[in-house]
Each structure stands twice: as C-alpha cells, then as structure tokens.
Structure 1
Amino acid sequence: MARYVFITGGVVSSLGKGLASAALGALLQARGYSVRLRKLDPYLNVDPGTMSPFEHGEVFVTDDGAETDLDLGHYERFTGVHARATDSISSGRIYSNVLEKERRGDYLGKTIQVIPHVTNEIKDFLHIGDDEVDFMLCEIGGTVGDIEGLPFFEAIRQFSQDKPRGQCVFMHLTLLPYLAASGELKTKPTQHSVKELRSIGLQPDVLVCRSEQPIPEKERAKIALFCNVRPDAVIPAYDLKSIYEAPMAYHKAGLDQAVLDAFAISPAPKPNLARWEDVMDRLDNAEGEVRVAIVGKYTQLEDAYKSIAEALTHGGMANRTRVKAQWIDAEIFEREDPAPYLENFHAILVPGGFGERGTEGKIKAAQFAREKKIPYLGICLGMQMAVIEAARNVAGVQTAGSEEFDHEAGKKRFEPVVYHLKEWVQGNHVARRKVGDDKGGTMRLGAYTANLKPGSKVAQVYGETVIEERHRHRYEVDVKYRDKLEAAGLCFTGMSPDGRLPEIVEWKDHPWFIGVQFHPELKSKPFAPHPLFADFVRAAVEVSRLV
C-alpha cells in the first residue's frame, strides 16, 4: 500500500509546488522507490482543455488522452513515469461526477452535500492505484485559504485519518519575503499560512520555504518553533538557474531525508544520483550555443509552450549545446518581411495553436526556412502551415488553406488542404466528431501509432519505422493532396496505420525540414531527450558551424 505525501502551498501562488513535487519524486526514485504523482486543482473547469494558454499555460496531454495541468509535464520529465487520466482531477470533474450520480439515483434520495459526498468523491480518486507504487505524491493546486480549495483540504484531512497512523505526510510550501529596507527575511507570512492550514485540521510535517536570500539558522529555528515543525524539516528553497538543478538542490537541503524521517523510515536507502549528476554536467558544460526562433501566437507567456522550451533544452543536452530560444510573434510577419527577424537564427520552430490569428505569419516562417535551407520543425499547426505553404507556393494550389479558418470566417475562402477531422480509429472503435460539438475533450487526443517510410529522414531520426506519439488536434492534412504535394517535393513519410491520416511530412531536398501532426515535446525528458528535438538541435549545430 502506498504512502501518501500531500503537497500544499501558502502565502502566494506560483511558489513552485509542481517543481518541488517532481523533484521529490525524482529523489525518492533515486533511493529505489516507485512513485506516482497527482494534481488536484480547485478550479471549476472540468479540465484545462478549454482554457486559453494565457489563463493556465499549456495543456499537457497523457497517453490515454487526458488534457491536464502543465505540472504533469514536470512530473513526467523528472520521473519518467507516464501520467494517466487518473493523475489529474479538478473541482469541475468532481462536481460533475457527483451530479451524474445524483441524476442516476445512486445516492438513494439523500441530500447531496460537500461533506460527505464531494469529499468522498475526492477520496475515491486518491485511492486509485494506491497498491501500485511505494509513494503517491499529491499536489493540491491553489493556496491555503482559497475558498474553492476547502473541499480538497477537508478531503485530505479525512483521508489521512482513514489511513493507518504514519501513512500520510503533509508538505507545505511558503514564501519568506525579504524586505530590503530593513534587510530582513520575514517569517510572519509563513506562520500565518501554517496557522491557516492548522485551523482546518492539517499540521505540516515538512516546510519548504522559498526565499531569494539565504535563510539564517536562527530564522529556521524560529519557523520550526512557531509552526510546530522539526528544525531539520524546515527546508530552504532558493531560486535556481535551471529547473533541473532542483533535485540536487533539494537533496542538498535535506528534503528527501526530511520526508523519509516523517514516515519514520530508518535507515533510509542511500540515493543514487548519477542520472541527475549527468544532467547537471550536460547543462553546466555546454560546448557551444545555437539560436532557435519559435514563431508562435502565445509568445507573451512562455508557459504556453512550456514543454517545447524544455524539449529544446533536452535537445541541447543531447548535443552538449546550449539552446538559446527566442519567441517571435507570428503576427509580425503578416505586416513585415520575416527575413530581418529570422536570418540570424540557426533553426526555426513553429508550434501548435488554435485559430487563424498569426497563421499567415507562420506560413511565411515555413517559406523562409524552406527557401533558405534552415532547419525547420513544425508541430501540429506548424506542420499544417508548412503543408499550406508548399501547396500555395510550390504545388500550385494558390488558394490552399484550412477549413478551421473558413469556419471562423463563416464563409468559404480557401481550398481546404487541412480539414476538420470527422472520423478516426481510436483503440477498438471509431470516433466521430461534428464541427458543432462541444469543445472540451472532443479532439483527437492521446497516443496513436504512426508508420514511417523506410529510409526517410524521420525513420533515421527515430531509428525505427513504427512509433507512438501524443496528439491534440481536431484538424488534419487532407491525404487527397498527397500525390500533388509529393510531386512538388514534400514527402508524406509518416502515416496512420490505416493510411488515411498524414502524421509526418518532410522536404526531399532540404537538409532538415520536418513537420509532425503530433506533439513530440510531451514525451521528452532531460535524461531521455526526444529524438526529433535531439536531431533538430544537431542540425542547428551544423548550421552554426557554417556561419
């Protein structure tokens, strides 16, 4: 039966609960334990799938097709454990489940209340898979004191009481603000945060204190005294140059030991940190630098493309090269020539997205990469824009476009080289969608198989001809244009097993130009860089040597 670590946050949001959870998971793995990480979010959306990236950052997709919080990406990148739909839950999903049961009559006519019905639903979620791993790490989104988070705090309080003594540990992240005028770190916000937590029946066993300044021993002792925590369980958490320093930094600060002590696990297995020592060596001892332009529409918020940014870093690690990514708003290229913006980069990446805004700029970026022989990686919409560019400028389909944009405009303006996917094979059944369907959870989501053309660039990159990658889209390149595009030089080198859905395209006479319908960034890890990103950066390194 799994031991549970519940990770909560106080004082302010964005303290790094997800990163701390992921780092703790990595450290427990280094000591030989198996782990699974979960996220419980208090918002009323059923999942983040319908949220704007500006609201909540990127949507991370699991193999089994769940649209989840970006923290699950951190969990996977740090532990290598593939997240599942059962690793992410929201208030919206909880209330939806409760109301569905009430409509079916499952509650036998009882009055439905937050306690016990909502809290029981949360506890049932927590129990899923608890016999599969040694440790279950559960991060509670939001900040203690938020009204929407109260059912989750009450549920984990009840859950800890239901379990045998010593089966649950509470870890709380807080902030120690530094007042420059007085030259002091202030502990009072942490004291009040813990007081708030204790008022709802939760006593933290481990305190992780974010600070921009070193925390003196006397301040740690003061925090321990006033927060009723052991002094060696007050863990400093300082700002880092890279998130991949977190496991080593937290180990040095004693986080994993404090958690094991709270479980009374003694003697604790010694950690094997070779994996993270190698990661840090590759980060700290890069032998060069490449510049990559990311031409997108959500460039004001880097978290909108979090997995892409991290996958580029991983690709740099694979080549012992530092990747300097610069975000460029695609809309600029709809007004101006892209050449002055792009000519000093060693590679161009166009990521996914939804809607027409910025797409003509992305098409120009793909054209620039094709004509100037600069390495290009198009992901999801980035592949579709590369296909439209090829159709317009090389294959003679001058009005080529996407049905997505015609739906937005309410009239037919384009020849739909990219169309709304209405039917596809999903597991053992056929999935069907209409344009007017609800937006949430109706895309082609999760892991699907693709067959690669032997001898193609992508087959060389992957080292195999059958792959499985994660998808998140509702529009596809129309295979009926394949012959015309291949005659022009754009080869369809990856297809769905039934041959109906193009998965990968590449230019025949280009050193490195690949578009993929899926999202390879979602499976990349610092200790296992995705082969597409590793080879994309390698190609950029080759360009940098020619400059």
Structure 2
Amino acid sequence: MARYIFITGGVVSSLGKGLAGAALGALLQARGYTVRLRKLDPYLNVDPGTMSPFEHGEVFVTDDGAETDLDLGHYERFTGVAARRTDSISAGRIYSNVLEKERRGDYLGKTIQVIPHVTNEIKDFLRIGEDEVDFMLCEIGGTVGDIEGLPFFEAIRQFAQERPRGACIFMHLTLLPFIKTSGELKTKPTQHSVKELRSIGIAPDILVCRAEMAIPPKEREKLALFCNVRAESVIEALDLPSIYAAPLALHDAGLDGAVLDAFGISPAPRPDLSRWRSVLEAVEKPDGEVRIAIVGKYTQLGDAYKSLAEALTHGGVANRVRVRAELLDSEVFEREDPAPYLEGLHGILVPGGFGERGTEGMIRAAQFARERKVPYLGICLGLQMAVVEAARNLAGVNSAGSQEFDHEAAAARFEHVIYHMSEWVENGETVRRKATDAKGGTMRLGAYDAVLTEGSHAAQAYGTTRISERHRHRYEVDIAYRERLEAAGLVFSGLSPDGALPEIVEVRDHPWFVGVQFHPELKSKPFEPHPLFASFIGAAVEQSRLV
C-alpha cells in the first residue's frame, strides 16, 4: 500500500507546489522508489478543457484523453511517469459525481452533505491505484484558507486519520518575504498559514519555504518552534536559474531526507542523481544558442505555452544549445509585415489554439518560413494554418480556410480545406460529434497512432514509421485536398492507420518544414527530448550558421 504525501500551499498562490512535488517525486525515484503524482483542484469547472488559456494556462492532455491542469505536465517531465485520467480531479467533477449518484438513488434517500458525501468521494479518488506504487504525492490546488478548498482539506485530514500511523505526511509550501528596509526574512506569514492549517486539523510535517536568500538559523529555529516542526524539516526553496536545478537544490536542502525521516524509513537508500546532473550541465553549459519565434494567440501569458517552452529547452539539451524563445503575437502580423520580426531568427513555431483571432498572422508566419527556408514547426492549429497557406499560395485554392472560422449565421467565406471532424474511430468504436455539441471533453482527445512515410523528416526524427501521439482538436485537414497539395509541394508524410486523417505535413525541397496535428510537446522530457523538437532545434542550429 502506498505512502501518501499531501502537498498544500499557503501565504500566496503560484509558489510552485506542482514543481516542488514533481522534484520530490524525481528525488524519491532516484532512491529507487516508484511514485505517482496527483492534482486536486478546488475550482468548480469539471476540468480545464473549456477554460481560457488566459485564465488557467495550458491544458495538459493525457494518453487516455483527460484534459488536466498544467501541473501534470511538470509531473510527467520530472518523473517520466505517464499521467492518467485518474491523476486529476476538480471540485466540479467531485460534485458532479455526487449529484449523479444522488439522482440514481445510490444514497438511499439520505440527505446529501459535504461531510460525508463530498469528502468520501474525494477519498475514493485518492485510493485509486494505491497498491501500484511506493509513494503517492497529492497536491491540493489553491491556498489554505480558500473557501472552495475546505472540502479537500477536510478529506485529506480524514484520509490520514483513517490510515495506519505513519502512512501519510503533510508538506506545506509557503513564502518567506524579504523586507529590504529591515534586511529580514519574515516568518510571520508562514506562522499564520500553518495556524490556519492546524485550525482545520492538519499539522504539517515539513515546511518548504520559498525565499530570496538562505534562511538564517534564527529564523529557521523560529519557524520550527512556532510551526511545531523539526528544524531539519524546514526546507529552503530558493529562486533558481532553471527549473531543472530543483531536484538537486531541494536534495541539497534536505527535502527527500526529511520526507523519508518523517515516514520513519531508515536507513534510507542512497540517491542516484546522475541523470539530473547531466540535464543541468546541458542546460547551464550549452555550446551555442538559437532563437526561436513562437507566433501564437496567447503570448501575453507564458503559462499558456508551458509544455511548449519546456520541449524547446529539451530540444536544446539534445543539441547542447540554449534555446531563446521569443513570444510574438500573431495578431500583429495581420497588421504589419512579419519580416522585421522574423528575420534573423533560426526557427519559427506556430502552436495550437482555438478561434479565428490571429490566424491570418499565423498564415503569414508560415508563408515567411516556407519562402525564406526557415525551419518551421506547426502544431495543431499551426499545421492547419500552414496547410491553408500552401492551399492559397501554392495550390491555387484562393479562398482556402477553415470551417471553424465560418459562422452558421453568415454566408460561407472559405473553401473548407479544414473541416469540423464529426466522426472518427476511438478504441475500435466510431465516435460521432456535431458542431452544436457541448464543448467540454468532446474533442478528439488522447493518444492515437500514425503511420509515417519512409524517408520523411518526421520518420528520420522518430527513427520509426509508427508512432503514437496525443491529440486535442475538433477540426481536421480534408484528405480530399491531398493530391492538389502534394502536386504543389506540400507532402502528407503522416496519416492515421486507416489513411483517412492527415497527421503530418512537410514542404518538399525545404530544409525543415513540418506541421503536426497532435501535440508532441506533451511527451517531451529533459532526459528524453521529444524527437521532433530535437530535430527542429537541430535544424535551427544549422540555420544559425547561415544567418
């Protein structure tokens, strides 16, 4: 049966609970243990799938088709453990499950209340797969004191109480603000946060304190005394130049040792941190640098492209170069010539997105990359806009566009090279969708196979002609245009196994121009860079020698 580590946050949000949990998972793996990480989010959305990237950052997609919080991306990148649908839950899903049971009569006429019905549902979720791993790390979203988080805190309190002694510990992440005028790290906010946590029956075993400087002994002793934790369990988490320094830094600060000590595991296995030393050396001591433009719709919020930015870094690790990603708003290219923005850059990446805003700018970016022979990687919408550009400017389909951008109330403006996908095969069964269906969870989601053309850039990058990648889209390139587009120079180098759905396109006679319908960034890891990103950055390195 797994030991449980519950990770909570206090003082302020966005301190990095997900990153701390991911790093801890990596450290436990380095000592030979198996781990799984989970996220419990108190918001009432059923999942992040219908939330704007400006609200919540990117949506991370699992192999089994769940739309989840971006922290699951951190979990996968640091541990290599593929996340599952059962690794992410929200208050919306919990309440939905409870209400469905009530409607079916599962509660036999009882009055439905937060305690015990909602908390029991949360505890049932926590138990899933508890016999599969040595440690289960469960992050509670939000900050202690948030009203919507109370059922989750109560549930983990009950859960720990029901387990054998020593089977669960609590790790609380807080902030120690630095007051410049007095030259002090202040512990009072952390003391109040722990007091709030203790008032609902949870006593932290470990404090992880974000700080701008090392915690002086006096402040460490004060935190231990007033928060009722051991001094060696007060762990400093300093700002780092790279997130991939976190496992080594937290190990040096004693986090994994404090966790094993809290569980009474002694003697603890010695960690093998060679993997992380190699990654950090590649990140901190590159042999060169390339500049990559990300031409997207959500550039005002970096978290909207979190996995993408990390996958580019991983591609840099594979090529021993630093990747400087420059976020460029695609709407700007609808008003201005993209050339002044893109000249001198070594690669252009157009990511996924939804809706018409900014798409003409993406098309112009793809045109620039194709005509100027600049390495190009188009992902999801980035593939579709590259196809539209080629259809208009190479294949003579002057009104080429996407059905996504034509509204039912208006006359059709485009010839639909991109159409709404109403039917596809999933797990051997036909799935049917209408444009008027509810939005949440109704896309083509999760892992699907693709067959690649021998000798293509994609096949060379993967080293195989059969791949599986994660999807998240409603619209698809119309295979009926394949012959015209290939005659004009846009090759369909990857298809679904039945040959019906285009998965990858490439421009013939171009150094590196690849568009993919799936999201390769979701499977990239620092110690296992995704083949497409490694190949794309490799092409950018070659481009840097020409610029």
TM-score, shorter chain, exceeding 0.5: yes
Report the 3-state secondary structure (helix = DSSP H, G, I; strand = E; otherwise coil) of the residue aligned with 1:153: helix
Cα pair distance change 1:383/1:408, threshold 3 Å: farther
Report the 3-state secondary structure (helix = DSSP H, G, I; strand = E; otherwise coil) of the residue aligned with 1:315: helix
Distance of 2:90 and 2:64 partners within structure 1: 17
> Which residue number corresponds to residue 468 of structure 1?
468
Distance of 1:455 and 1:182 partners within structure 2: 65
1:213-261 Cα offsets, whole Å, 9 max, x none, are 2210110011000000000000000001110000000000000000000
Report the 3-state secondary structure (helix = DSSP H, G, I; strand = E; otherwise coil) of the residue aligned with 2:123: helix
> Which residue number corresponds to residue 389 of structure 1?
389
Which residue identity lines up with residue 533 of structure 1 in the other structure? F
Report the 3-state secondary structure (helix = DSSP H, G, I; strand = E; otherwise coil) of the residue aligned with 2:356: coil
> Which residue number corresponds to residue 171 of structure 2?
171
Cα pair distance change 1:344/1:409, threshold 3 Å: farther
> Which residue number corresponds to residue 366 of structure 2?
366
Which residue identity lines up with residue 397 of structure 2 in the other structure? V
Report the 3-state secondary structure (helix = DSSP H, G, I; strand = E; otherwise coil) of the residue aligned with 1:378: strand
> Which residue number corresponds to residue 66 of structure 1?
66
> Which residue number corresponds to residue 528 of structure 2?
528
Please state if 1:417 is matched with 2:417: yes
- Once the two structures are TM-superposed, the CA of residue 411 in structure 1 deviates from its matched residue by 3.0
Distance of 1:39 and 1:359 partners within structure 2: 33
Which residue identity lines up with residue 529 of structure 1 in the other structure? P
1:123-164 Cα offsets, whole Å, 9 max, x none, are 000000000000000000000000000000000000001110
- Once the two structures are TM-superposed, the CA of residue 408 in structure 1 deviates from its matched residue by 7.2
> Which residue number corresponds to residue 220 of structure 1?
220
Report the TM-score when normalising by structure 1. 1.00
Residue correspondence of structure 1 range 196-211 to structure 2 within 5 A:
196-211=196-211
Cα pair distance change 1:408/1:194, threshold 3 Å: farther
> Which residue number corresponds to residue 149 of structure 1?
149
Report the 3-state secondary structure (helix = DSSP H, G, I; strand = E; otherwise coil) of the residue aligned with 1:126: helix
Distance of 1:474 and 1:367 partners within structure 2: 24
Report the 3-state secondary structure (helix = DSSP H, G, I; strand = E; otherwise coil) of the residue aligned with 2:137: strand
Distance of 1:458 and 1:237 partners within structure 2: 40
Distance of 1:359 and 1:543 partners within structure 2: 26
- Once the two structures are TM-superposed, the CA of residue 465 in structure 1 deviates from its matched residue by 0.4
Distance of 1:407 and 1:474 partners within structure 2: 15
1:440-486 Cα offsets, whole Å, 9 max, x none, are 00000000000001111111110000000000000000000000000
> Which residue number corresponds to residue 402 of structure 2?
402
Residue correspondence of structure 1 range 451-466 to structure 2 within 5 A:
451-466=451-466
- Once the two structures are TM-superposed, the CA of residue 182 in structure 1 deviates from its matched residue by 1.4
Which residue identity lines up with residue 129 of structure 1 in the other structure? G
Distance of 1:220 and 1:182 partners within structure 2: 18
Which residue identity lines up with residue 198 of structure 2 in the other structure? R
Report the TM-score when normalising by structure 2. 1.00
Which residue identity lines up with residue 337 of structure 1 in the other structure? D
Distance of 1:330 and 1:414 partners within structure 2: 20
Distance of 1:104 and 1:85 partners within structure 2: 24
Distance of 1:411 and 1:542 partners within structure 2: 46
- Once the two structures are TM-superposed, the CA of residue 515 in structure 1 deviates from its matched residue by 0.2
Which aligned segments of 4 or more residues in structure 1 are displaced greater than 6 angstroms?
Answer: none
Please state if 1:321 is matched with 2:321: yes
Which residue identity lines up with residue 387 of structure 2 in the other structure? V
Which residue identity lines up with residue 467 of structure 2 in the other structure? I
Distance of 1:354 and 1:227 partners within structure 2: 47
Q: What RMSD, in angstroms, separates the aligned Cα atoms of the two structures?
A: 0.7
- Once the two structures are TM-superposed, the CA of residue 409 in structure 1 deviates from its matched residue by 6.9
> Which residue number corresponds to residue 14 of structure 2?
14
Distance of 2:369 and 2:514 partners within structure 1: 11
- Once the two structures are TM-superposed, the CA of residue 183 in structure 1 deviates from its matched residue by 1.3
Please state if 1:546 is matched with 2:546: yes
Which residue identity lines up with residue 9 of structure 2 in the other structure? G
* Structure 1 unaligned blocks of 5 or more: none
1:103-141 Cα offsets, whole Å, 9 max, x none, are 000000000000000000000000000000000000000
Distance of 1:14 and 1:44 partners within structure 2: 19
Report the 3-state secondary structure (helix = DSSP H, G, I; strand = E; otherwise coil) of the residue aligned with 2:468: strand
Distance of 2:410 and 2:154 partners within structure 1: 48
